[in-house]
Structure formats: structure tokens, C-alpha cells
Amino acid sequence: MKILKNIGIIFVITILVCVSCFRVDNPQSEEETEADTSNINLEDYPEYKAQPTLTINGIDYRLSLMPTGKYGGEFITSEISDPKTFNPWVSKDATSSSIGDMLYDALVTSSPLKGDIVPVLAKSYEISDDKKTYTFHLREGVKWTDGKEITADDVVFTWEEIIFKGLGNTSTRDSLYIEGELPTVKKTGKYTVVFTTKKPFAPFLRFLSSPIAPKHIFKPAADKGEKYFDSFLNSTTNPKEIVSSGAFILEEYVPAQRIVFKRNPNYYVINENGKTLPYLDKYIILIVGDLNNEILKFESKELDIISVKGKDAARLKKKEKYSDYTMYNLGPNASSNFIIFNMNKRKDKDGNYFVPKFKQAWFNDINFRTAVDYAIDRNSMVINIANGVATPMYSAESIPSIYLNKEVAKGHNQDIEYAKALLKESGFWLDKNNVLRDKNSNVVELELITNAGNTEREATGVIIKEDLAKLGIKVNFRPIEFNSLVNKVSSTNKWETVILGFSGGSIYEPHGSKNVWYSNGAMHIFNNRLGEEKKYNDLLSWEEEIDEIFEKAALELEFEKRKTLYDRFQEIIYKEKPIIFLYARNTIIALRNRIKNAYLVKFSGGIYNLEEIYVDE
């Protein structure tokens, strides 16, 4: 269960909001369950009220507008796998990123419903008339957990010496180039920072939701270079050494068991009585290992919240009226599941190909990729894996995205005969044992990997294996440990086929995925150049067109013109199929009734206002 601060995710307002009518069909039974809640349209869904600034004794507090809660108690959630690092500027996995976002606040965030920019460490900002200069005024008197004040020096250091310098995960930096140049940042006062872009840059404000680092802690690590920085604040770090700015302080980490946070007594959010938040004493993440264990822990009341998978939704819904929790169907979320082939044709430093040449030929054959796409039965996945609480997915934009190309999203049904015809066109043939061979008689045999413990992806792999067997393709399906999977896919290039997913995507700004689609992006994993600089001599024509689309769309301020560009981007991905999207689940949340002030986000799952929730036994 992801708990995100900088990208909104779960919530309630003055009273717990009644979200969309819950209805789950159980394919193993004719019996249906239905919620007693009434339908609420998006237009009627109340917006979370942003926290205004209130200055007391020289400190610019954020004032909570939620009902005053009770102090004390614990809130317990879960993650499948352990974090790899506590350094959010290095993170490439969801667990590490969500923890990093908890530890370090940003200048701004996005409001949970409409996506408006909301100040956090900044108390206000202005944009110049030419749309190229952004002036931020920081909150005065706000401190790091070691008592040092947060100032403009921390902001400038974070952006100049970590992000722009390319330390750690370069995804944010890579997304901010404007015609080959990065924005500039400078301090104009102790609490004032000015960013300047070369041209008006539509997505710029949203990227300022990147966390801010304490300069006095991170600068010595940054000065030692990339290798040292990558290991700085890794998961073996003593929590007492971590200086942060979030509502909760990391207190304990026991690998494969739990991550424990304690209340930050000096956090800069106060309630209407002038008392500092958060209300909770502890925020605890249990490392559950797999999805089956997660649901068992929720049913045994070890967890307070869970994102319910389709196969469990109907059963939990039937038990809801006799239990201490309420379920909410928040609709299609911004996440995705997909399969990728490694299209890399390059060699490693020792002169060996990352992928054998005969398999390179398959993966770079549009007929082969399209045949696999048409062989996959997405409807079977929706019914048998998600119990109908999901939607088949075909587009590179998430289903609730305001930029979704609806024509592309219509997709197609499974068509085995069409898939066979495409393979035949490329010289593939079936031998007497119905084994598919390429034009050079190589047996078409693939290694398909995913992360062990994610039972949905494991079930997806089984269906893909069965579907591709109908084409004569042998799939060796092998779930592996998650951190090993991330390292293999993002850092080594030595893999063939993988099932993965994107989470936490923005429904308001496609540019956030530039690191995936841009030809030298850090997460361009289907043809990963591992940090090589442009220009390349192996750039595919459609990769080049996508590069151009993302560059043009970022400089275009009119929504309709941006929409036209991103529609074309989705058409290219649908045609070329470097990533074959499978389905997106509805976000279904089960939340203990004793948890109050939790504001539920429509398009994903997690807690938006963690500092404001409280326990009412």
C-alpha cells in the first residue's frame, strides 16, 4: 500500500467522503455484492482544502483545515519488498521512493483532485509574465530534524549539485532539458529562490515536487562523486543518522519485517488550536513479502489499510458489514501492467551482446512484437486475475489521464490467427512438434521474468505463457526477487522479456514519463543506452519522432495543441509496441473505520494527508 505525499493518493474531508458506488462481480459465483454508498461524479467530489500559511513566533506554519483529531496511536500499512535505499535522489523502486517522499518535503506538491500546484516548503511563488522565471518564497523558521533551519541554500544545492549534476537517478534532470539546456536556479535571499527556464516550459512547476535535501548533510556525499553518492543513506544506514524534514522521522528498519517512523514533534503543520501535527505517534510499514500475505495480515487486523486486489474484493465486500472496515472503489487508477522485450542491439564493455543476435532479430521485428500483442488475452487477465475489477489497457497514457487518446485506448481483442499470419510473414514457421522456429530454424524460446511475491504479476506471467504457447513459443517464466529484478532491468541490460508496471503516474502531465520514452532516458528500458549521451547511430526513426514530440509538447502551453502531440505519441507506441500494455486495476481501498481524516484520492491508492489522520478507537 503506497503512502505518497508529493503525489496525492488517499483521503477524506470533514467527514469520510462517500466515493463511487462499489460493485464487484465474482466469476466463481452468481452472487453479487453491492455497496450501500451512492454514486458521486468527479465533478461533485469535494476537493481537499489546501493548507494556508499562519505565521506564529517567526515560523510560517501550514494550517490544517481538517477536523481536530486525537493525538497518539499507530497507523500500519504494508509494502511487498524492502527498500533499496533511504536516499530518494538515488531511488528507482517504488518502496524506496515512497519512503524518500515521506522523509523529505518538496517546494510544492499537486492537489489530490484537480492537480493544482500547492505550496509545501514554499509558502508562495510567482511566475513572470514571459513564463520563464519562477520565484519561490520559502517558509521561515522551518527546521530539519537536527534543528538547523531550512533555507534557500538547501534548495539551490539540491537542484544544482544533485539533480542538475546528474547524481543518482537522473530521471528528473533528463526531463528538464529545454533545447539541450537545463533551467538555472539561484538564491536571491535567505528564503528566496529563483528558477529560470530558457523558454516557457509547460511541465516545469510539477517537477518542483522533487524533495529538497539538507545541504549540510548531503554536500559531503555529493562532493565525493557519483559512486559514493549512490551508496549514501543506503538501507543499512542507522536511522539515527538520517536528517529529514517530513512529518515522520525514521526510527527503525528491520529487513524483511518492518519500517517504523515516529512523530516529528517540530513539524511545521498546526491545527486550529495551534498544536503541531502529525497526530499519530507511529507510522509503521510491514514488509509482507507477497500479496497473499498482505491480505492475510489485513484480515487478521495487523494492517489498517490495504489496496484490495480483484480476487479478494468480492469476499472482503461480503464481510464488510460485519467487520471494522469500509471499502471504496476509486475507479481506474494511473498505474499499468505491461510486458517488454529487450530490443537492445549493443554490446557490453567486454564486447559481448546483451541479447543474443538471433533474439535481437525477433525483438526488433515489428511483426513479432505485434503477434505477441494479439496473442495476449487481456480480457482473461481482467476476469481471472482482477476478478473483473480492471480495464484492458493499450495506451501509453493511463486510463484516467486527461491526455488519453481514446481511439488508441479502444485496442483490439485477442486474435491468434492474425498473430500466426504476422509471424509467417516474417519467416517464422512451425515444425512437426508445433514448435515455432525463426527463418534460420532457431527455436523461439524466451525467458520471461517478473518480481516474486507479486501474485498478480505471477498470474499474468502464467497467462502469457499459455497464450504464447498457442503460437508455438516456449516461455520459461521465472519470478525473481524484486531488487534483483530492478537491478537487472535498469542497470545490466542482460534480460530478455519482463513483466513490470508503472505506478504513481500523473493524470495531468505526460512529461513526467519522458524518462521512459525519451531515447536516452534513464528508464528507456526496452532499448536502454545506460547513460550514453546523444547522438547515437542506432536511433530508431520512431524513437526520434517521440523525442521530438516530448520536446515540442513541453514548450507548448495550450492544452489542445499539447493533446494533439501526445495523441500522436500514443499512436506510435501502440503501433510499434516497444511496451505492450496489459490492464489497469481499479483502485479498491479497504480502510479501518477507526482511521479518521483520511482523504481518498480518486485515481490511485495511498494517503495524501498522513500528518492529518488520527485514530479514534
Contact 364, 543 (CB under 8 A): no
At 349 the pLDDT is 80
Same domain, 444 and 318: no
Confidence of residue 50 (pLDDT cuts 50, 70, 90): confident
**Considering only 48-57, 173-182, 326-335, which range has the smallest mean pLDDT?**
326-335
Same domain, 351 and 429: yes
On whether residue 432 sits in a domain, the answer given is: yes
pLDDT, tens digit, for every residue of 556-594?
Answer: 999 999 999 999 999 999 999 999 999 998 888 999 999
CATH number of the domain bearing residue 68: 3.40.190.10
pLDDT, tens digit, for every residue of 257-273?
Answer: 999 999 999 999 999 99
Contact 558, 538 (CB under 8 A): no
At 455 the pLDDT is 87
**Considering only 100-104, 154-158, 606-610, which range has the smallest mean pLDDT?**
606-610
Strand pairing category for 269-270 and 59-63: parallel
Same domain, 479 and 357: yes
3-state secondary structure of 234: strand
Same domain, 365 and 465: yes
At 537 the pLDDT is 64
On whether residue 516 sits in a domain, the answer given is: no
On whether residue 195 sits in a domain, the answer given is: yes
At 23 the pLDDT is 22
3-class secondary structure for 265-304? CCCCEECCCCCECCCCCEEEEEECCCHHHHHHHHHCCCCC
Same domain, 346 and 456: yes
Beta-bridge mates of residue 32: 25
Mean pLDDT rounded to a whole number for the chain: 87
Q: Where are the beta strands (DSSP E) in 397-441?
A: 429-430, 436-437
Number of structural domains found in the chain: 3
Of 29 and 411, which is predicted with more confidence?
Answer: 411
Same domain, 186 and 283: no
Beta-bridge mates of residue 31: none
How large is the average pLDDT for residues 325-344? Answer: 88
Same domain, 117 and 250: no
CATH number of the domain bearing residue 120: 3.90.76.10
* Domain with 313 in it: 23-87+240-331+586-615
Confirm whether pTM is higher than 0.95: no
Gap between the Cα atoms of 50 and 508, Å rounded: 18
177 contacts: CB under 8 Å, gap ≥ 6: none
On whether residue 549 sits in a domain, the answer given is: no
At 136 the pLDDT is 98
Cell numbers at 38, concatenated: 451512492
Same domain, 155 and 113: yes
Instruction: Check the CA dihedral 376-377-378-382 and report its sign.
Output: negative
Instruction: Check the CA dihedral 458-587-2-110 and report its sign.
Output: positive
What phi, psi does 126 have (nearest 5°)?
-130, 150
Gap between the Cα atoms of 108 and 120, Å rounded: 5
Gap between the Cα atoms of 98 and 79, Å rounded: 10
How large is the average pLDDT for residues 34-58? Answer: 63
On whether residue 552 sits in a domain, the answer given is: no
At 329 the pLDDT is 83
Locus of grid cell 483529531: 69
Q: In what order do the strands lie in the sheet with 74-79?
A: 74-79, 282-287, 258-263, 248-254
DSSP 8-state secondary structure symbol assigned to residue 554: H
Cell numbers at 260, concatenated: 517504523
pLDDT, tens digit, for every residue of 142-199?
Answer: 999 999 999 999 999 999 999 999 999 888 898 899 988 999 999 999 999 999 999 9
Confidence of residue 45 (pLDDT cuts 50, 70, 90): low
Same domain, 267 and 282: yes
At 6 the pLDDT is 34
At 12 the pLDDT is 24
Confidence of residue 22 (pLDDT cuts 50, 70, 90): very low
Same domain, 356 and 485: yes
Share of the chain above pLDDT 70, in %: 90
**Considering only 3-7, 92-96, 403-407, 597-601, which range has the smallest mean pLDDT?**
3-7
Q: What is the CA radius of gyration of the chain?
A: 24
Confidence of residue 39 (pLDDT cuts 50, 70, 90): very low
Cell numbers at 592, concatenated: 479501518
At 2 the pLDDT is 38
Same domain, 388 and 402: yes
On whether residue 569 sits in a domain, the answer given is: no
On whether residue 171 sits in a domain, the answer given is: yes
Locus of grid cell 524460446: 445
Integer angstrom CA distances of residue 303 from 257, 293, 544: 13, 11, 47
Same domain, 248 and 361: no
Identity of residue 80: I
On whether residue 550 sits in a domain, the answer given is: no
Confidence of residue 25 (pLDDT cuts 50, 70, 90): very low
